Amino acid sequence: MKNLHILLSTLIIFFSCSKDENIQDTEPKLIVKLVMNENQVRLGNNGSPVSLPIGNAGQTPIFNGIAAHYLELAQGPFTSLGNGEIIFHAPETNLGGENAIDFSKSIVKNSNEVYLEIPLKDVAPGEYEWVRLSLSYQNYDVQFYYNSLPYTGTIASFVGFNNYITSYKIKNQTQTVNANKKQGYWGFESISGVQTGQIPEGATTVPNPLFATSPIPSGSCVVTGKFSNKLIINNNENKNIEITMNLSINKSFEWIDVNGNGKWDVDANSGENVVDMGLRGLIPSWERK
């Protein structure tokens, strides 16, 4: 009889746990994907299409990974940054002095992977016309030339407002930093080892079509995009809602093209310095699944 009670108790616990897990598995979620698009329109800071400036050249990188820091749904064009529905905010730290993104806790995913899964019960019902996405980190391959010969190198690019970095792996090599790095810090791994650099302050492009009605702080990487159809979240959602953040990488890696050949020449004293690594626009879309 004692053994029977133990068996029944075990079965009750098992089925209770299974029931809870099933409820959790079927709970509707807001699913977010980041998708890199090489053919999407190339935008400037004010959200208008732009070409490469005279004297510069650019290329579309091959992405290995990307990280976001902040995601907010905005009801309309006059919703100021921070006053919408904030659904994601990555950890920050002051270990490096000033407040900064804690890179060691960043979520790094590749294009078209599920980046976030958020229970819809945790998102306020409403109608949302715009989305703000703050990117913090990019890792991609680029082509460069040395002694007129083509090679492929890997770049780790930090585009967040401020980044506390203990260490980071570019491709095969790891750089130790243990300090804050402002927006525009990068590491480049090539045949000759690792180089690091810093893009000038304010040079990283951050498209914001709402610059006139809802500006973003200087030095941030909060890219703004508009849904073609308003995102509608109801009180009684019973399906997942999937948001796809289509990010333009159309010639997003830009440098000074000293000799005008359209190639990134990295020979000593070439003067072909990197000037911009910012993403070139955001077109969000959504559907129930």
Q: Give percent of the chain above pLDDT 70.
A: 91
pLDDT at 192: 87
Nearest residue to 186 via CA among 134, 88, 252, 259:
252
> What's the pLDDT tens digit per position in 149-199?
999 999 999 999 999 999 999 999 999 999 999 999 999 999 889 999 999
Supply the pLDDT for residue 225.
Answer: 98
pTM: 0.88
Closest CA to 146 of 256, 263, 58, 261: 263
d(CA 140, CA 155): 5
Q: How much is the mean pLDDT over the chain? A: 92
Burial 3-32 (b: 16+ CB within 10 A, else e): eeeeeeeeeeeeeeeeeeeeeeeeebbbbb
pLDDT above 90: percentage of residues in the chain:
86
More confident residue, 22 or 245: 245
Inform me whether the pLDDT recorded for 14 exceeds 70. no
Q: Which pLDDT band, with edges at 50, 70 and 90, does 220 fall under? A: confident
CA torsion, ordered 202, 208, 213, 218, to nearest 10 deg: -20
Q: Average of pLDDT values for 52-74?
A: 97
Relative to beta strand 100-102, strand 162-169 is: parallel
Inter-residue contact 185 to 174 (CB < 8 Å): no
Question: How confident is the model at residue 11, as a pLDDT?
Answer: 44
What radius of gyration do the chain's Cα atoms show? 22
Residue 201 has pLDDT above 90, yes or no: no
Q: Which of 11-25, 36-50, 69-83, 197-211 has the lowest mean pLDDT?
A: 11-25
Closest CA to 235 of 139, 93, 124: 124
Residues belonging to the chain = 289
Q: Tell me the pLDDT tens digit for each residue of 227-269.
A: 999 999 999 999 999 999 999 999 999 999 999 999 999 998 8
